[in-house]
Each structure stands twice: as structure tokens, then as C-alpha cells.
Amino acid sequence: PVPAGSTVNWATPNVFAAENALGIYSNGSLFALSTKGDLGDNVEVRERDTGAYLQMNWDSHLLDRELRGNLGVRVVRTGQWSQGYSSSLLPITANRDYGDVLPAFNLAWSLRPDLLLRFAYSRDLSRPNLTDVAASTSVTVSGTSFDVKSGNPNIDPFLANAYDLSLEWYPAPGTLVSVAPFRKDVLSFSSSETVNT
């Protein structure tokens, strides 16, 4: 038995009827450009990365001091596929393939048992975020202002030549005094941009 005074009748809204009446998921009503975004927020990005590398190591002497290092090269291939929607709700598809050759060189020369000179060179690559290369345009409405966000499937990866030099002195076990200048030459760089119109 139900205890006396308990609520035994109540009403619940029909969620499906509300969705259909308001056209919430139709992209043809006021919800198509809502503060929560539109179809431009629905994107799919796929990326396939393949690579191969070759490395050679050596350990020899220069002026009766140990000289060791390695020389290598890495070849990478990137395939990107993106699908999204334009601001007019039309589907967009973008494909892109690109490759890079990334050499690297490392050298260490023992000037004394407690003094080491190092040099390194490498070409570094960092791919952009998948959200940045999405083929889509999203429009968000807030009062009388519009916020338009668009991805760019043709963004180049970050690419740079890096040079490192260090002189390391080990005066005692567990102790290191080092000077290490470096240089980085940026070959390609991408950033986001905000434009007010």
C-alpha cells in the first residue's frame, strides 16, 4: 500500500513531441544557428602517418680523444581526410597528402675524461591539431553578433631546423656544469587568427 499523503499522479513532458514540434535536430529552425553551434561543429578527421628511418652509429677517436655519434634520416608520409559542413549546411570533403625528409646528426667528443663537447642537428616536424585541419565552418549566434569559426585542411605542419651545442664539465660524480647555446630556424609555422568585421 502507498502511504497516506503520497503523490500518486504526475505529468511528464513528451520529449519526442517537443523535438519534432520545435525542429531541434532539423537544422531548418532557429536551432540551426543556436548558441550551441550548427552542423559546422559536426566534423570527422582521419590521419594516417607512416614513416621509415635509417641510422648509422660510430665510435672512433680524434686527436687521441673518443669521438662518437650517429647520423640518421627519417622519411614520413602523412595522409589526411576531413569531412564537415559549410556555413550554408553544404557538406565539405578535403583530402591531402604530404611527405617530409627529416635528417638528424649527433656528435660527442671527449676533450678530457671530465669534459665533453656535444653538437646536434635535426629537422623537427610537428603536425597541426586535427581540429585545426577540419573541413568545416561553424556559425554561432549570440544576440546580434555572429561568431564564425573555420578550419583549414591545407595547414602546413610546424617545421624547423634545430642546432644544439653544449660544453659539459663533470668536476665530481653526480655534478655537472654546462653551457648549452641553441638555435632554431623555423621553416613553417601556423597560428589561429581572429578577425572582427
Q: Of 58, 191, 186, nearest to 128 (Cα)?
A: 191
pLDDT along the chain (197 residues), means of 10: 75 76 58 48 86 96 95 96 77 89 97 96 92 76 70 89 97 94 92 69
pLDDT reported for residue 37: 46
pLDDT reported for residue 100: 95
* Locus of grid cell 616536424: 125
* Locus of grid cell 559536426: 42
What is the reported pTM? 0.67
CB atoms < 10 A from the CB of 33, how many?
A: 19
pLDDT reported for residue 3: 77
CA distance 117 to 177: 12
* Contact of 66 with 56, CB cutoff 8 Å: no
pLDDT reported for residue 34: 42
At 90, which amino acid appears?
L
CA distance 180 to 16: 66
Contacts 24+ apart (CB under 8 A), 24-30: 27/89
